[in-house]
Amino acid sequence: MNFKSDNESPAHAAVLQALLDANEGRATAYAEDDWSERLNQVFSERFETDCQVLPIATGTAANSISLAAVCPPWGGVLCHQAAHIQNDEGGAPEFYTDGAKLVTLPGQDGKLSADALAAAVDGAGAHGVHNVKPSVVSITQATECGTSYSIKEVQAIAEVCQSRQLPLQMDGARFANAVAWLGCTPADITWKSGVDLLSFGATKNGAVTAEAVVVFGHPDWLEALHRRRKRGGHLLSKMRYVSAQLLAMLDNDLWLVLAAEANARAASLAEGIHQSKHFSIHWPVQANEVFMQGEPAKLQWLKDHGASFHLWPGHSDLSRLVCSWSTTDEEVDAFLQLLQRAR
Ligand SMILES: Cc1ncc(COP(=O)(O)O)c(C=O)c1O
């Protein structure tokens, strides 16, 4: 009953097979191998537009290098106060941007609202050079609260961005879970809705370690992205192994099949929690994470009886249960049975 993190899940067999297949002979280094060179075409087909793809090893690097390519050191990155870039990336966005400021905003269910964003951007320059200059907006899909932005919500944010010449970056560490939950195309929820840069996550969803920066349009950003990836130490010499994982995930839409599995387990968990006496659901379950509220002593009792999960920082009565592609129905059932016995 391990619901601590999708990062704790194993890699999918198809990804491991792709690594073995890629492990034949020599291949040009530094992302000039056949696997890396196929990424643009494969992602462009799946996203229904020409896009440029930079494979990269971690989500933190994908976010930080993307933001640094579009945000000057005197700029502001506007994001939700719960954003991973704000709370869990150890200052990497600030480091890669040479010191840009993260400007955090509140918002219901872990989402930025278009109105709050517009007000923050429009009110930001009152003191001229004494203020940082709003330079990019970052949203997380699915959010840190386990919710997913709808197409309309992304479009409304993108309108605010476009009318103020601000790029829109999407942290998609759990992008697959959001797309699977929304039932839309990846195109619908990204470039068609106004997203310029996507950190496409695969590691949590069954890869060993593989993420990608996906750029929609904006050829003028590419040099900065490529140079910052190298300068930041993320141009892996044996990139073929990262790219082969990404190709395996996109093959036959494995990424969406696996994400749908994780989401289904989360939905079953939520269903059972709804019916329990002592616990309740805190945020709507719209991807693969369930936030369950309950008395601290009861949450501890669950842990003492074999359930593993994290508490939401600063909240002793709020637990985070994360399902992955490898979470089984049996694990979910065992957890729900434990809930019935909790005291
Ligand atoms: C929403 C979100 N963004 C980005 C990341 C960063 O990924 P990594 O740990 O690969 O740097 C994570 C990882 O937990 C995440 O949850």
Tell which atom from ligand 1 comes closest to the C-alpha of 143: 1
Kindly tell me if the per-residue pLDDT of 272 is higher than 90.
Answer: yes
- Fold classification of 255-341 (topology level): Aspartate Aminotransferase, domain 1 (3.90.1150)
Nearest CA to ligand 1 atom 9: 59
Ligand 1 neighbours (beta carbon < 6 A): 7, 58-60, 63, 84, 140, 144, 171, 173, 203
> Which of the four pLDDT bands, split at 50, 70 and 90, describes residue 165?
very high
Mean pLDDT over residues 97-107, rounded?
A: 97
Domain at 11-253, CATH class: alpha beta
CA of 89 to the centre of ligand 1 (A): 8
pLDDT over 90 (residue 342): no
Can you tell me the distance from the alpha carbon of 308 to that of 187, in angstroms, rounded to the nearest whole number? 36
Q: Answer whether residue 306 shows pLDDT above 90.
A: yes
- Collect all residues with Cβ–Cβ distance below 8 Å to 81 and sequence separation of at least 6: 104, 105, 106, 107
- Output the CA 62–ligand 1 centroid distance in Å: 9
Say if 11-253 and 255-341 have the same CATH topology.
Answer: no
Name the residue at shortest CA distance from atom 7 of ligand 1.
59
Mean pLDDT of the chain: 97
Q: How far is the CA of 129 from the centre of ligand 1 (A)?
A: 32
The share of the chain scoring above pLDDT 90, in percent, equals 95
Is the model's pLDDT at 208 over the cut of 80?
Answer: yes
**pLDDT greater than 80 at residue 126:** no
- How do the domains of the chain map onto residue ranges? 11-253, 255-341
Sign of the C-alpha dihedral computed for residues 287, 289, 291 and 292 taken in this order: positive
Query: In whole angstroms, what separates CA 165 from the centre of its chain?
Result: 24
For residue 114, how many C-alpha atoms fall within 13 Å in the half-sphere facing its CB?
Answer: 16
What span, in angstroms and rounded, lies between the C-alpha atoms of 297 and 313? Answer: 17
pTM for this entry: 0.97
pLDDT confidence of residue 343: 80
